[in-house]
Structure 1
Amino acid sequence: MQISYRQFPHPVLSFFSDDVQDVDFQTSLKNTKTQNTYIFEASCFTSSDDLNGYLAERKACFAFHFECSSTRYRRMFTSYEEMFSFEIQADELEGKVQICAFILAAEDIERYSLSEFHEDYEGHSFSINKGDVLAIDTERTFFADKEVDPLKRIPSIFSVVPSHDEDALPLDFDSSGNKVIIKLSNDNFDKYKYLSVSQHLQPLLLSLVILPVLVSLLEMIKDSEDSYEYEDFRWYQVIRAKLKSMNIDLVNCNESMVVVGQKLVGDPVTLSLDALESVEEEG
Structure 2
Amino acid sequence: MQINYRQYPHPVLSYFADDVIDSDFQASLKSSKTQNSYIFEAQCITSSDGINKLLNEKKACYAFHFECSTTRYRKVFRSFDSSFTFQLPADTIEGKVQICSFILASENMDHYFLAEFHPDYEGHTFSIKKGDVLAIDAERTFFAEKEYDPLRRIPSIFTVQPTRGENAMPFDMDSSGHKIIIKLSEDNFEYYKTISLNQNLQSLLSSLIIMPALVSILETLKNAVDQEFDLEECRWYRVIKSRLKELGIDIDNKSTFSDSTLAVAQKLIGEPLNSSLLALINFDDEE
Gaps of at least 5 residues in structure 1 are none
Equivalences for residues 11-50 of structure 1 within 5 A:
11-50=11-50
Matched, 1:244 2:245: yes
Which structure 2 segments of 5+ residues have no match?
none
**Contact (CA 8 Å) 1:101, 1:137: kept in 2 or not?**
yes
Deviation readout 1:40-90 (Å, 9 max, x if unpaired): 222212111211111111111111111111111111111111222222222
Amino acid at match of 1:264: L
Residue equivalent to 2:155: 154
Give the 3-state SS of the residue equivalent to 1:18 in structure 2.
coil
In 1: Cα distance, 2:185 partner to 2:40 partner: 46
Distance 1:182 1:41 in 2: 42
Q: For 1:228-281, what per-residue CA distance to the aligned partner results, in whole angstroms no more than 9, with x for missing partners?
A: 742332222222222223321241122111111122222122232233333333
Residue equivalent to 2:163: 163
Identify the range of structure 1 (266-275 vs 1-10) with the bigger mean alpha-carbon deviation: 266-275
Aligned to 2:188: 188
Structure 1 pair 243–30 and aligned structure 2 pair: CA distance change class (3 A): farther
- Counterparts of 1:90 and 1:278 in 2: how far apart (Å)? 47
- Determine if contact 1:151/1:265 at 8 Å carries over to the other structure: no
Q: State percent identity of aligned pairs.
A: 57
Point out the more displaced range, 236-245 or 6-15.
236-245
**TM-score, normalization: structure 1?**
0.93
TM-score by length of 2: 0.91
Task: For residue 233 of structure 2, give the secondary structure of its aligned residue in structure 1.
Answer: coil
Amino acid at match of 1:187: D
Runs of 4+ in structure 1 off by over 4 angstroms are none
Partner of 1:128: 128
Deviation of residue 24 (structure 1)?
A: 1.2
Kindly provide the amino acid, as one letter, of the partner of residue 78 in structure 2: T
Query: Which residue identity lines up with residue 245 of structure 1 in the other structure?
Result: E
Please give the residue correspondences for 1:113-124 in structure 2 after superposition, counting only pairs within 5 Å.
113-124=113-124
Partner of 1:77: 77
| 1:265 equivalent in structure 2 | 269
Partner Cα distance (1:244, 1:22) in 2: 44
1:149 shift after superposition: 6.7
Paired residues of 1:95 and 1:144 also in contact (CA < 8 A): yes
Equivalent position SS for 2:99: strand
Q: Residues 179, 90 of structure 1: CA spacing in aligned structure 2 closer, same or farther, 3 A cutoff?
A: same
**Distance in 2 between the 1:194 and 1:39 partners?**
48
Query: Deviation of residue 197 (structure 1)?
Result: 2.7
Q: Is the 8 A contact 1:96 1:234 kept in 2?
A: no
